Structure 1
Amino acid sequence: MFKGFYNLTSAMLSQGKRLDVISNNMANVATSGYKADTYTDTTFREYVVSRVGNKDKSDPAEIGPASYILAPSRLYTDYTQGSLEETGMPLDFALQGDGFFAVHSGDETVYTRAGNFALDEEGYLCLSDGSRVLDPNGEEILLGTDKIKGDASGGIYTEEGLLVAQLGVFSFEDNAELQRNPQGYFTGDGAEATVGTSVLWKTQERANVDLIQQMTGMMTAQRAFQSAAEVSRMYDQLMTKAATNLGNV
Structure 2
Amino acid sequence: MDNALYVGLSRQMVLRRQMDIVANNVANADTNGFKVESLITKEQPGAPAFTLGGPRPVKFVGEDGVARDFGQGALRRTDAPLDLAVEGQGFFKVNTKDGERFTRDGRFRTDDTGRLTTQAGDTVADDGGGEIVIDPQKGQVTVAPDGTLSQGAERVGKVGVFQFANLSVLEKRGGNLYQNTSNQQATPAESAKVRQGMLEGSNVNSILEITRMIEVSRAYESTSQMMSAQADLSRSSISRLGRVQ
In the TM superposition, what is the alpha-carbon distance from 1:194 to its structure 2 partner?
Answer: 3.0
1:174 to partner: Cα distance? 1.5
Q: What is the percent sequence identity of the aligned residues?
A: 26
1:170 to 162, 176, 179: 162
| Superposition map of 1:110-129 within 5 A | 110-129=101-120
| Corresponding position: 1:150 with 2:143 | yes
Tell me, in whole angstroms, the C-alpha distance in 2 between the residues paired with 1:200 and 1:3: 56
Q: Distance in 2 between matches of 1:170 and 1:108?
A: 16
Give the deviation of 1:234 after TM superposition: 3.9
3-state DSSP of counterpart to 1:71: strand
Establish whether residue 81 from structure 1 lines up as the match of residue 72 from structure 2.
yes
By how many angstroms is 1:103 displaced?
0.3
For 1:60-209, what aligned pairs fall within 5 Å after superposition? 68-145=59-136, 147-158=140-151, 160-188=152-180, 189-209=184-204
Q: Is the 8 A contact 2:105 2:176 kept in 1?
A: no
| Separation in structure 2 between the aligned mates of residue 246 and residue 121 of structure 1, nearest angstrom | 80
Instruction: Provide Cα deviations, 1:179-231, integer angstroms capped at 9, x if missing partner.
Output: 22244322223112233211111011111111111111110001111222233
The CA deviation at 1:19 is 0.7
Residues 86 and 226 (structure 1), Cα distance of their counterparts in 2 relative to 1, 3 Å cut: same
Say which SS state the counterpart of residue 38 (structure 1) adopts. Answer: strand
Q: Distance in 2 between matches of 1:89 and 1:137?
A: 25
Partner residue of 1:24? 24
* Uncovered stretches (5+) of structure 2, i.e. residues with no partner: 48-52
1:220 is paired with a residue whose SS is helix
- Equivalence for 1:229: 224
Q: Distance in 1 between matches of 2:201 and 2:58?
A: 40
In structure 1, C-alpha distance between the alignment counterparts of 2:215 and 2:63, rounded to whole Å:
18
**Greater shift in the superposed pair: 179-188 or 239-248:** 239-248
| C-alpha contact 1:6 1:68 (8 A) present in aligned 2 | no
- The answer as to whether partners of 2:83 and 2:196 remain within 8 angstroms in 1 is yes
Q: Which residue of 1 aligns with 2:50?
A: none
Distance apart, 1:105 and its partner CA: 2.4
- TM-score normalised to structure 2 length: 0.84
- Distance in 2 between residues matched to 1:107 and 1:205, nearest whole Å: 25
CA separation in 1, counterparts of 2:78 and 2:106?
A: 11
**CA-atom RMSD, angstroms?**
2.8
State the distance in 2 between where 1:229 and 1:144 align: 63
Give yes or no for contact 1:168–1:193 (8 Å, CA) kept in 2: yes
Name the CA shift for 1:200/1:225 in 2 (closer, same or farther; >3 Å): same
